[in-house]
Every structure is written in structure tokens, then in C-alpha cells.
């Protein structure tokens, strides 16, 4: 079990500026330039790190959870 926790910590992803830029570029291709989500241009941006073109907004989540 300790080795699982260590592996989880070592392999966890960080939300870096580089990843954020790649995801935002992919989203721009999809939503502004109307490229397909599984199109070659989007795949080239995201595939090497297995990223997905989604963002998460926690706006108001604290309020809902703390109520």
C-alpha cells in the first residue's frame, strides 16, 4: 500500500502553465475555428501527454458544499 501511495505522488500531474496553454489552444481550435475534437490538429496538441480539452470551474462550489 505504501508503494501505491508513493507511485501516486510521483506520477501525479501538476496544473502547469504549459499544460494550461495546450488545453486552451485546443479549445480555441475546437470552439473558435470549429475543428473536430478528435481531429488531427487537436490530437497533435494533446496526445503526447494524454490531455483532454476540458476546463473545470469551481465557481460557487464552496458555497454549495458549505451549505
Q: What's the number of CA atoms in the CB half-sphere (13 Å) around residue 12? A: 8
Whether the Cβ atoms of residue 10 and residue 37 lie closer than 8 Å to each other: no
Q: Is the pLDDT of residue 3 over 60?
A: yes
Residue ranges per structural domain of the chain: 15-66
pLDDT tens for residues 4-59?
888 888 877 777 889 889 999 999 999 999 999 999 999 999 999 889 888 776 66
pTM greater than 0.95 = no
pLDDT given at position 62: 55
Q: What's the number of CA atoms in the CB half-sphere (13 Å) around residue 23? A: 14
CA distance 27 to 53: 6
pLDDT given at position 67: 47
Amino acid at each position: 500500500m505504501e508503494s501505491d501511495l508513493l507511485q501516486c505522488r510521483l506520477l501525479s500531474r501538476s496544473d502547469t502553465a504549459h499544460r494550461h496553454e495546450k488545453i486552451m489552444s485546443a479549445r480555441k481550435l475546437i470552439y473558435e475555428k470549429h475543428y473536430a475534437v478528435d481531429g488531427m490538429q487537436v490530437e497533435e496538441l494533446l496526445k503526447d501527454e494524454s490531455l483532454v480539452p476540458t476546463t473545470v470551474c469551481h465557481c460557487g462550489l464552496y458555497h454549495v458544499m458549505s451549505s
